[in-house]
Amino acid sequence: EIVSRDGAQIYAHAVKKSHPNVIQVNDRFHLIKGLSHFLSNVHMLLLHASMLFDFNIFDALIELSCVDV
Tens-digit pLDDT profile for residues 17-56: 999 999 999 999 989 999 999 999 988 888 888 778 777 7
Q: Which residues pair with 53 in a beta bridge?
A: none
Q: Report pLDDT for 36.
A: 94
Q: Report pLDDT for 61.
A: 73
Q: Is residue 11 pLDDT above 80, yes or no?
A: yes
pLDDT tier at 69, thresholds 50, 70, 90:
low
Model confidence, pTM: 0.58
* Cβ-Cβ contacts under 8 Å for 28 (sequence gap 6 or more): 4
Quote the distance between the C-alpha of residue 63 and its chain's center. 25
Report the alpha-carbon distance of residue 53 to residue 3 in Å, rounded: 45
What region does 54 belong to: left with phi over 0, alpha with psi -120 to 50, or beta?
Answer: left
